[in-house]
Amino acid sequence: MNWNNELTRILKIKYPLVQAPMLGVTTPEMVAAVSNEGGLGSLPVGLLSAGKTRELIQKTKELTSKPFAVNLFAHDIPAIDIPQTEALQNKLSDIAQEYSLNYQRVDVNLIHHYSYQEQIEILIDEKIPVVSFTFGLIDENSIRRLHDNGVIIIGTATSVREAVHLDNGGIDIITAQGIEAGGHRGTFLDDEPLPQIGTFSLVPQIADKIKRPVLAAGGIMDGRTIKAALILGAQGVQAGTAFVGSDESLAVNSYKNALKTSLDTDTVLTRAFSGRWARGIRNAFHDQVQQLNITYPPYPILNTLTAPIRSAAQKSDNKELTTLWAGQSAAMAMLKPSAEIFRALIAETERLG
């Protein structure tokens, strides 16, 4: 099978397979394993400080000499409603007590949400060849700075209109994220209903509308789905849930096991954990927060407030009170080293001819 196309040429990779950046799950070891196999590993640094960003990049560089991407969050930084957050923390504390977890309250006066604009110069200084982003469109100056330094930029769209917006903004590659995809939705145009378009409907429509290479994301779990995405007009695919169960993943054991035992109907779109729509396996925390019937603080404020309870749950390997981000094909995930998962995806696709 001939894997060479415009996307592999632009990204300087052997196979048009990108490992999705999954904050809280992806590690430098996962990124390096995929890049070393000829794909494009992606390191998530959204919400992190410039110092932590550099640290993770340098750790990844120690593990691979191949190209890898760094992923940014392009959302706005919202103001904090202190009375609202204090009231919400009371409710989160009650939920934690039900499960014998100690909820460490967040001092809202000390919250600082880092912007991607604080990370751009780090990426340029570290000579990162590919920068991807989600939750919006990075500003014109950042795009110009990255392009001036030879950086390839990848943006995320969940509708044709968003893809056109990114195309007009000069983004080099568009990731078409279908509703099947696990984790946070990349949606950023707020003047339309939440796009809920399946990957295999979204990809050909975006591919027909724009001339830039398209990455298909959502439901990419085996050779069949990779082959189908390429037939539909994508020049590459992005797989996330496929790597959640990997040895290099930060997912706790109960999370990994939940993937394998999940049913096709077990994932839900929820804002309960972060205030932003995301797909994951339903659990007790999702159900209890839904019942509170609250007005969700904007992302990433709620994400910051739920962090202590998620962290405590992870330490006790309790899958009921942490995020279980996963796509609709979660049960197809493999519990193997990332390199083996990558090789299996490539081999399955090649067998299809």
DSSP output for 112-163:
-PPPGGGTHHHHHHTT-SEEEEESS---HHHHHHHHHTT-EEEEEESSHHHH
Tell me: the pLDDT tens digits for 114-124? 999 999 999 99
Domain positions in the chain: 1-77+113-248+337-353, 79-112+252-330
Give me the helix-helix angle, 301-315 and 284-292, nearest 10°.
Answer: 140
Residue 26 confidence (pLDDT): 98
Residue 295 confidence (pLDDT): 86
Mean model confidence pLDDT for the chain? 97
**Least confident window among 78-87, 175-184, 240-249:** 78-87
Alpha helices by DSSP H, listed for the chain, are 6-11, 28-36, 50-63, 82-98, 120-125, 140-148, 160-168, 199-209, 223-231, 241-244, 253-261, 284-292, 301-315, 338-351
Partners of residue 72 on adjacent β-strands = 133
Residue 66 confidence (pLDDT): 98
Residue 15 confidence (pLDDT): 98
- The CA distance from 57 to 303, in Å, is 24
Q: Grade residue 75 by pLDDT with cuts at 50, 70 and 90.
A: very high
Q: Which residue has the higher pLDDT, 71 or 291?
A: 71
Return the CATH fold of 1-77+113-248+337-353: TIM Barrel (3.20.20)
pLDDT (mean) for 222-244: 98
Q: Is the pTM of this model over 0.75?
A: yes
Residue 332 confidence (pLDDT): 98
Tell me: the pLDDT tens digits for 273-312? 999 999 999 999 999 998 988 888 999 999 999 999 999 9
- The CA distance from 48 to 136, in Å, is 17
Question: Taking the CB of residue 140, how many other CB atoms lie within 10 A of it?
Answer: 10
